[in-house]
Every structure is written in structure tokens, then in C-alpha cells.
Amino acid sequence: MTDTTAVTESGRPSRFPDQPPERIGKYEVRGEVGRGGCGVVYKGFDPFVQRDVALKVALQDAALRSDEAHTRAFFAEAHAAGMLQHPNIVALYDAGVEGDLSYIVMEFIDGETLLPMCRPNTARMPLEQVVDIGYKCAKALDYAHGKGVLHRDIKPSNIMLTRDGTPKLMDFSIAEIRSAEQDDSPRSVIGSPPYMSPEQIARAPMGPPSDLYSLGAVLFQLLTGTPPFTHAQIPELFRAIRNQPAPDVHDLRPDVPEALSDTVARLLLKDPAQRFQTGAELASILSRLFDQLHSVGQQVSRRESRDSLRRLHFFNAFSDDQIDEILNASTMMTYAPGQTLIEEGEIDNALYLLARGSADVLKGGKPIGRLDKGDCVGEVGFLTAARRTATVVAATPVLALKVNAALMDQVSRDCQLRFYKVFTETLIYRLSLTSAKLSALSA
């Protein structure tokens, strides 16, 4: 077999493994998935826990293998990703050295990257899906930043999309792990040029807004088919990123709501202090945009919404002003019989409170319960953004208040305390009913 080579950053040719080995450590190798500038990725299988995995193997260059700095750089991805456990970040399971091979073992994603959806000659992704991807990536970045990890290479090919549409950040190979004693001295320019922030190009100190800039560039490309700046020569591209305003998405695609275009524009501002400062802040805005897109023609007037909530026991202790606060951080939704409120298996952090109508709860397609006016559903997802364990379908015309946890920070402290007090009491009451039913069945 002919050797396959790549070129390292030093300019030397460096060999990939000539052919997939049958095993790497305890892992069975089942074929090549892809390759890049620093290694090759195989699909593997872990016979101990019976699951597919992805095996990323470093380039086989004897000079590089003896280079301690290169070894550290390769395993930096394992260090960074190993700190992170989030549903929208590719999980890292293991890392090691087997003979001449240095490898890391990651979650195998049955899907593809966002790159095919970003090409100009491809049908544009639905706006709701773009916003959903942005929201979940923002939540993942907020989590990573909270752990002190800057990704520094957010781009379409580093975001996987599973078959069910869940985005997952991957490739933390140039991530930076920050500490209280962070050295903010100038550093080398690394990253993917079309998605690099102005401060990244300028070798200036970077923080969460830099990763969010890159995410904004990805969203721009998902919406328009091109990155914000498309200069062929790197010096010209860098000058444009540092000095030219990004094009307006709404000018390029008039069907994109101005609120979404303005959000992307803010992500792409030159001054990091003027961008969103945290992933949570961005997620809050995108969550509202998603609900607005999803509920076109379904939203209910403010007076009707307030009157419907006022009649519920849940809001007995709330003033009209506090109900208005909750409405400002929520969305009133209407559902026709047969429409789905919650889908089993999806990851969401919204709570639904039925203001009118009834809904069936299904597990594996089989009915397990009925919700009526005043009932809550989705409490666990609201608290932990866990995967939904059941499907909820409208049995009659339903009016429901959808409360997203990411938006509750917009509510005043007194209103939050009152909401969570009633929420906790309601949850305890439902758990006590469930316990009583189980006790009766076992008697």
C-alpha cells in the first residue's frame, strides 16, 4: 500500500498510519472516518461496554513523536475535552499510547458536520433549526467557558449534527484552558481564518466573546451560504475581519427576521465588549427567537394570556405585574388536537403549564397519563435540561405557557422566588401523588 502523507506545521511531510490497524489498545478498528492536519480518525468499537467509538490517532512522524511539545499538544485535546460533560459536546472516553500510536477515544457521532449545510449551492436550513443549533451551541460554550475552556476553533466542520438534529461541538485540539493566573501576553495566530475573531487575528487576549464571534460566523454562513468575509488572500481576509463591518444578513436574505439578523450582527462586532459576553446571554436571546419563529400565528394576545393564567391555582399569589413578568420571559402557545408539545428523547429545558385543554402523555407510543388545565409538565427538563422521557400530545385544543429556564434570569428576584416556590410546591405535590399511587398498587 502506498504511504499517505500530510504536511506538519514545520513544513515536514508526516505519515499517517499506512492502513487501519486491527486494534488499538482494547478497541477494535472498523474503518476510517476522516483525516486532517494532525491525525486520522477511525470508527472503533469498545467490546467491554459494547459501544461504537471514534479513535483519533496522531500522525506517525518519528521526529514529532520524540517532541514532548508535540505530544503535549496532541493530548491537550484530551485534557480540554475530558473536563467537559455536556449533551452538546462530543464526549471523551479515553486517551493513551499503543506502540507507535498516540490516540484519544471519543463518542462516535452517527451524523455529519454542519459543513454540507453551509455551502452556497445547498438549500438553506430552516430558520428554526439554525436558531436551535445556535442556542444549543451557545449553551455548550457557556458550560465550557464556565470550566475555563476556550475552544478557539468554532467552525462548521467542528460542529457535528446527529441524525436527530442535535448539534455537538468537537475538536478541542487548540483549546485554551484558562486559570486565575492566565497569561494574556501575545500568542501565535491559530484557528480557521474565516471564523477567527478580530482579537484572535491581532494576537490579543481572548475570552468567551471570541468563541461567540466564531459561532456568529457559523450562523451567518448557515443563513446565507457564505462566511461573513470571503477574501481569497489571507492578509486581505484578516484586514476585513479587523476593520470592515460584517454584511447584514437581512440584506442578503430578506426572509430572515430582523431580530435574528441583529443578533448575528451583534456577535460579529469588532469590539468584544460590545458582543454578547456569555453563552447564556446569547442562549436567552435565541430561545426567545426560536419561540417566536415556532409560534407564528399561534401566539395569544397579552390580555387573553394574563386572564387565562389568572384563573389557574398556580398563579393565585401573583400580582398582575408579576404575571406580566412571567409572560415576558415565556411564550403562550396554542396546539390543535394531535400536535406535540414535548417529544420523547429531545433535550429541552422548558416547562409547560396547561392554561386550557387536555393532553396525553405517551411513553414509547403508549398512553401513560392525562394532563388537564392547571397541570405542569417538563419539570425535570426545566431544572436540568435532561432528555425528555415521554411525549406529550394535545388531546383537545390546548393553550399552554411555555417557560424556558434560560429566560427566567430576566424576571425580577421577587417574582423568581415566588415562581420557584410555587413550582417546588407543585412538584412535591405531584411526587406525593405518584408515591401514593405506587403504594396503593403494591398493597
CB 241 within 8 A of CB 229: yes
* Tens-place pLDDT, residues 335-371: 888 888 888 888 777 889 999 899 999 988 899 889 9
Grid coordinates belonging to 337: 388536537
Q: Is the pLDDT of residue 67 over 70?
A: no
Q: Is the pLDDT of residue 268 over 70?
A: yes
Which CATH code for domain 298-406? 2.60.120.10
Please give the residue that has the higher pLDDT: either 436 or 238.
238
**Sign of the alpha-carbon torsion through 413, 417, 420, 422:** negative
* Tens-place pLDDT, residues 162-175: 988 899 999 887 88
Q: What is the pLDDT of residue 409?
A: 78
Determine which helix (DSSP H) or strand (DSSP E) holds 421, and give its type and residue range: helix 413-442
User: In sequence order, what are the beta bridge partners of 23?
Assistant: 28
Q: What percent of the chain has pLDDT over 70?
A: 85
Q: What percent of the chain has pLDDT over 90?
A: 42
Nearest residue to 212 via CA among 293, 290, 144: 144
Which CATH code for domain 5-107? 3.30.200.20
* Tens-place pLDDT, residues 88-104: 999 999 988 887 788 89
CATH homologous superfamily for 111-179+190-293?
Transferase(Phosphotransferase) domain 1 (1.10.510.10)
Please give the residue that has the higher pLDDT: either 188 or 389.
389
Q: Which residues in 267-404 belong to E strands, given as ranges?
A: 330-335, 340-342, 350-356, 359-363, 366-371, 376-377, 391-394, 398-404
Q: What is the pLDDT of residue 38?
A: 65
56: exposed, middle or buried (Cβ count in 10 Å: 0-12, 13-18, 19+)? buried
Q: Is the pLDDT of residue 74 over 70?
A: no
* Tens-place pLDDT, residues 141-162: 999 999 999 999 999 999 999 9
**Hey, where are the domains in the chain?**
5-107, 111-179+190-293, 298-406
Which residues are catalytic, by number?
Answer: 153
pTM of the complete model: 0.67
Nearest residue to 341 via CA among 49, 331, 16: 331
Mean pLDDT of the chain: 84
Q: What is the pLDDT of residue 9?
A: 38
